[in-house]
Amino acid sequence: MTKGSDRKPDLIVLDNTPASRAAPLVDAFRRRISYLRLSVTDRCDLRCTYCMPERMTFLPKKEVLTLEELYELAAGFIDRGVTKIRITGGEPLVRRDIMDLFSALGRRLGHGLEELTLTTNATQLAGHADALVKAGVRRVNISLDTLDRDRFARLTRRDALPQVMEGIAAAKAAGLKVKLNAVALKGVNEDELPDLIAWAHGQGHDVTLIEVMPLGDVEEERLDQYLPLSDVRDQLERRWTLRDNDASTGGPARYVDIAETGGRLGFITPHTNNFCAGCNRLRVTATGQLYPCLGGSERVDLRAALRSDDPQAELADALERAMMIKPEKHHFRMDQRGADPHLARHMSMTGG
């Protein structure tokens, strides 16, 4: 049980019988796990200043799971009741032959899997949008923090806004439902968020704003980047009418509808709000490390299980352990000035 928790976890006894290997995944706080975020690479063609340093050290390729292993893992989760899989990274579309994984997983849609989605920076989306639809993807999350080309180049350290806009347009043209994610950054894009939202809603895209999280060393002070979304909401309420929307996706966002734009806006506020009680998700990195909580360092090695002599039994055992250690809630705290990051792991390992 994690420090500071107020709910009592159930006692889970390791059970690795063939019957238990097919049982749904339920953690010690009786949360049913139905959502997997699967990172397929830690590499990326951008270098967002809040995500990673310019000279990022990437994992040696041999440590990364093969596409076959990624599929095998994902299929194992589907067999244990996971109905939604989001492919993420790093930037998933920079991984060679990644569409083979989408196609293979797409064949599980309607056979245990209900939704296959993707989070992308959209730099390469124009070339993949049609194939994603063909594979069965219906919705994508696209990260976009600014509409200003110079600002984008400073923020991502790459001059790629034109490709990103092309990718967003291609996704729309292919019939994908697009949601834009924007990280709110103090003094960087805070003056532009209303315009970004107005533009996105005009295009028919929902938007979710995210507070920056203290993951990994990024060369800048986290405290200088951090903009509480309560401030952003105040700013938006001076311009628009925001109505709370109770729609829940089982995820961490709280939603409002904006009367004037007709669009929906989500807020992900790990620092000002706790979203853990209904958490239904797990994250697996490209090296097969399962992190049951984005805000914690607990992990279980699925790659070792997958590469063992008895992958089925070892995997079942590893998943059982993950259910035991999934904490009741995260304990994010913003870094102190000059201190080491709260968690050494970058967001590009787990994909958000």
Binding site for ligand SAM (CB under 6 A): 44, 50-51, 88-89, 91, 119-121, 143, 181, 183, 210, 212-213, 215, 347-348, 351-352
Minimum gap (Å) between residue 328 Cβ and ligand SAM: 22
Nearer to ligand SF4, 10 or 224 (CB): 224
| Nearer to ligand SF4 among residue 51 and residue 323 (C-beta) | 51
Q: Which of ligand SAM, ligand SF4, none has residue 132 at its interface (CB below 5 to 8 Å by kind)?
A: none
What residue ranges in 99-197 does DSSP mark as E strands? 115-120, 139-143, 177-184
Taking CB under 6 A as the binding criterion, the range among 33-41, 46-54, 256-264, 322-330 that sits at the site for ligand SF4 is 46-54
Please report whether residue 44 would count as binding ligand SF4 according to CB under 6 A.
yes
Partner in contact with 120, chosen from ligand SF4, ligand SAM, none, beta carbon below 5 to 8 Å by kind? ligand SAM
Q: 106-125 mask for ligand SF4 (x: CB under 6 A)?
A: ---------------x----
One character per residue 131-160, x = contact with ligand SF4 (rule: CB under 6 A): ------------x-----------------
Say whether residue 288 binds ligand SF4 (CB under 6 A).
no
Min separation Cβ 28 and ligand SAM, Å? 27
- Does 317 engage in binding with ligand SF4 (CB under 6 A)? no
User: Using CB distances below 5 to 8 A depending on partner kind, what does residue 167 bind out of ligand SAM, ligand SF4, none?
Assistant: none
C-beta of 215 vs 227, nearer to ligand SAM: 215
Say how far apart CA 113 and CA 165 lie, in whole Å: 30
* Partner from ligand SF4, ligand SAM, none binding residue 210, C-beta < 5-8 Å depending on class: ligand SAM
Identify the bridge partners of residue 155 per DSSP, sorted by sequence position.
Answer: none
Q: Which lies closer to ligand SAM via its Cβ, residue 18 or residue 338?
A: 338
Question: How many positions of this chain bind ligand SF4 (CB under 6 A)?
Answer: 12
Using CB under 6 A as the binding rule, whether residue 289 contacts ligand SF4 is answered as no
- Show contacts with ligand SF4 in window 65-94 (CB under 6 A): 89-91
- 3-class SS letters over the chain: CCCCCCCCCCCCCCCCCCCHHHCCCECCCCCECCEEEEECCCCCCCCCCCCCCCCCCCCCHHHCCCHHHHHHHHHHHHHCCCCEEEEECCCHHHCCCHHHHHHHHHCCECCCECEEEEEECCCCCCCCHHHHHHHCCCEEEEECCCCCHHHHHHHHCCCCHHHHHHHHHHHHHCCCEEEEEEEEECCCCCCCHHHHHHHHHHCCCEEEEEECCCECCCCCCHHHHECCHHHHHHHHHHHCCEEEECCCCCCCCEEEEECCCCCEEEEECCCCCCCCCCCCEEEECCCCEEECCCCCCCCEEHHHHHCCCCHHHHHHHHHHHHHHHCCCCCCCCCCCCCCCCCECCCHHHHCC
Q: Which residues bind ligand SF4 (CB under 6 A)?
A: 44, 46-48, 51-52, 89-91, 121, 143, 348
